[in-house]
Amino acid sequence: MVYNTGSIQFNNNTVNNCFLTEGIFRIDNSNMNTRNITISNSTFSNNIAEYGTVLNVQALKSFLINYEVIIQNSVFENNTALTYGGVIYSNSVSTNNNIHIYNCDFINNHATHGNDVYSLNIDSEPNISNINELRNIKGSVGTNPTNLILNDPSIMIQNLLSGEKIQEGIFCSIYDDYGNKIIFKSDISNVEFNEFMFFNLEINDTYNAVLVGQTNSYCWEDKCTFPPVKVVGNPGIYNLRLKINTFGQFLLFDKNYVDILVNIKECNTSYLSQDIENTKLKSW
């Protein structure tokens, strides 16, 4: 791994069969250490890293106007990231301004997300001359999660009586800026606690409605499933939100929630309505 120790000219070299935790070139300007890097006419093949086998961008200050990383006329082939960014990983919003990649070939690289390039979002990708070509290759480019989408829009409204549960099987999935679905590990024995993405359910009007039952859970495989909570409240329409609280291996993103509507209907006057759940709100 080459860390920020000086301006680097890396020309006509071959790097292969290496295993690195954070990639061959790790960029971190959080300590104001601004070192330019130029990579030309080089080949990187059969390398393995946790994140970004060749370039791992951890921090770039937005005001570093004269700082540049230039990679040109080089080949990246058969490299593998065990997590994100088979060749390039970046979690900085300034990557597009400071990192430029020209006339490079990306061949058969792999990662769990972003086989070639993984960025914070689509607007902060490295400036890559053939980015449109990569975007046309399924799985080649990916980003940090950016939004949640409900699996079935037809269940956007839940009609129920006070004290009834929302229907089972409502779930949403998490997507990046390219519409790639985020897939979580499915083997509990191989998951660390800090990798879980936890969420909770909340209702918008806690004066007139409450949730009874399990309101906290976590995303698993390719979905985040609404626990079948009871909704107790006065008749009316409420907003029930699933909101991500912890982001696991990902970075925080703004659209970290999805909403459904709950319509609590008027009870039949022949029903016995009382405070069964000790919520000071009646259900039948």
260: tokens are 């459904």
The pLDDT value recorded for residue 144 is 96
191-200 long-range contacts, CB within 8 A, separation 24+: 194/248, 194/249, 195/248, 195/249, 196/246, 196/248, 197/224, 197/244, 197/246, 197/247, 197/248, 197/250, 198/244, 198/245, 198/246, 199/224, 199/242, 199/243, 199/244, 199/245, 200/242, 200/243, 200/245
Q: pLDDT over 70 for what percent of the chain?
A: 86
Mean pLDDT, the chain, whole residue set: 88
Work out the average pLDDT over 174-201.
86
Better-scored residue on pLDDT, 189 or 37: 37
- What is the model's pTM? 0.84
Indicate the pLDDT class of residue 35, thresholds 50, 70 and 90: confident
What domains, with CATH codes, occur in the chain? 8-143 (no CATH), 147-265 (2.60.40.10)
Better-scored residue on pLDDT, 30 or 60: 60
Work out the average pLDDT over 72-83.
97
170: tokens are 């409502």
Measured between alpha carbons, how far is 238 from 240 in angstroms, rounded to an integer? 6
